[in-house]
Amino acid sequence: MAKFRKKPVVIEAVAARDLINAFEFEWSALPEWAVEAYERGIIVAITQSHFTIKTLEGDHRADVDDMVIRGVKGELYPCKPDIFAATYEPAE
């Protein structure tokens, strides 16, 4: 068995809570990529507690406490807060 280390890449992320609130109250507070994802039907079924992200692997639920990550190829996916904290740190 071989071991591998994740390459250091910089990603963009936003709290699902911020997306939920901004979609309801202030779109200008959202990153441009989040607005585009909504307009293209990638972010759908928004409620006060969750929304759905459509991906190539199927639909993924983003709960209010999750982080929404924009990957290196522009793909979006939810990440639980404990996994996010263990995997990512702020970048400059």
CA gap 70, 11 in Å, rounded: 6
Both tokens of residue 51?
A: 């929304």
Angle of helix 16-25 relative to helix 32-39, nearest 10 degrees? 70
DSSP H helices, the chain, are 16-25, 32-39, 81-87
d(Cα 54, Cα 25) in Å, to the nearest integer?
A: 23
pTM, to two decimals = 0.86
- For residue range 44-91, list pLDDT tens digits in order: 988 899 999 999 899 999 999 999 999 989 999 999 999 999 999 888
Q: Express each pLDDT in 27-50 by its tens digit.
A: 788 899 999 999 999 999 888 999
pLDDT confidence tier of residue 92, bands split at 50, 70 and 90: confident
